[in-house]
Amino acid sequence: MKLGFIVSMYDEIDIVKETITNLRKYDCKIIVIQSDPGNEEMILDESICDKYEKMPDVAGNREEYAKIIEEKKKGKGEMIGPIALTRNFSRGFTLIQDFDVDYVIIITGDTKITNLEGITKIIKKMEKSNKIVGGTRTIGFTMYDEFGKFTQFQHKNITNIMPQFFIAKIDAVRSGLFCNIIRTNKYTTEQCLGDEIQRYCKENNIRFFDEFYRICDYGYPRFVNGLHYNPEQISKIPPPFEGMINWVRYWSNKKTNDFITKIFLKIENKT
């Protein structure tokens, strides 16, 4: 099985370099698309990957990005993530078509790979069930809708997928999947990715859930061996308890899920 990786990064240079070092042990193809961090020390050495491209920085700098995040919390402006990620992912997928790979693994710069055991298991399950995309969802949570309102409930039939880690079959990519991702939601990258999969399915007369492999229905899973998300995003709740809560989330309505979110935010803020 030949694997290719697309990394969309900003200034997470140490994490990305460690990931690349680990992936070289498996003879993976590696494409890095970096949004210019405005600091020469944070520019990745392009010689350590198979293809590297630097894109203009959308935010301006890290401080300006933090300012934009705070403004969005107050209902102002649009998010940088969907702009940069849809652009960087589209470029990465376009470039990787020329490489001899079977599957493409996509990660953001703050996601670290230490080994391929967990990812390989997922791909084998995708192959067995004939799926073209594998990803995670955040069922039970609420995100920003297309109008910047915090109202988009993530129900169990939603097609949004998280951008920090997902997998695509190269045959679908060479048929155009993820190569020109439209920014259908200025605030939520997850919807942009889900809408792109839906577009591909519609054009090829196939159904989303026939082609999509659910890695899990909650964000930042801890069970994928070798995959390490940004520690700041990982839940402080013990995994078994988290699994039970996420099962409840999956089968519950927005009102119940909003209550669960409120309770656990209080718990996590105290720890």
* Residue range 77-124, pLDDT digits in tens: 567 889 999 999 999 999 999 999 999 999 999 999 999 999 999 999
Q: How confident is the model at residue 73 (pLDDT cuts 50, 70, 90)?
A: low
Same domain, 217 and 245: no
The least confident of 88-102, 119-133, 140-154, 238-252 is 238-252
Rounded distance between C-alpha atoms, residue 207 and residue 8, angstroms? 28
- Contact present, 262 and 142 (Cβ < 8 Å): no
- Mean pLDDT (the chain) is 92
pLDDT of residue 271 exceeding 60: no
- Domain boundary among the residues 213, 229, 245 is at 229
Q: What's the structural domain count of the chain?
A: 2
Segment 21-25 mean pLDDT: 98
Same domain, 166 and 260: no
Segment 203-228 mean pLDDT: 96
Same domain, 106 and 24: yes
Q: How confident is the model at residue 58 (pLDDT cuts 50, 70, 90)?
A: confident
Segment 115-143 mean pLDDT: 97
Output 219 or 154, whichever has higher pLDDT: 154
Same domain, 179 and 261: no
Q: How confident is the model at residue 69 (pLDDT cuts 50, 70, 90)?
A: low
Same domain, 112 and 57: yes
Same domain, 255 and 202: no
pLDDT of the residue at 266: 74
Same domain, 139 and 253: no
Q: What is the pLDDT of residues 164-181, one digit of tens each?
A: 999 999 999 999 999 999
Same domain, 68 and 18: yes
Other CB atoms within 10 A of residue 93 CB: 27
pLDDT of residue 5 exceeding 70: yes
Q: How confident is the model at residue 237 (pLDDT cuts 50, 70, 90)?
A: confident
pLDDT of the residue at 84: 94
The least confident of 3-7, 51-55, 74-78 is 74-78
- Per the structure, the complete domain to which residue 244 belongs is given by 235-271
Same domain, 26 and 61: yes
The least confident of 69-78, 79-88, 188-197, 237-246 is 69-78
Segment 226-252 mean pLDDT: 87
Same domain, 175 and 240: no
pLDDT of the residue at 61: 61
Same domain, 26 and 12: yes
Tell me, what CATH number does 175's domain have? 3.90.550
Same domain, 262 and 143: no
pLDDT of residue 246 exceeding 60: yes
Which of 178, 179, 191 lies closest to 79 in space, CA to CA? 191
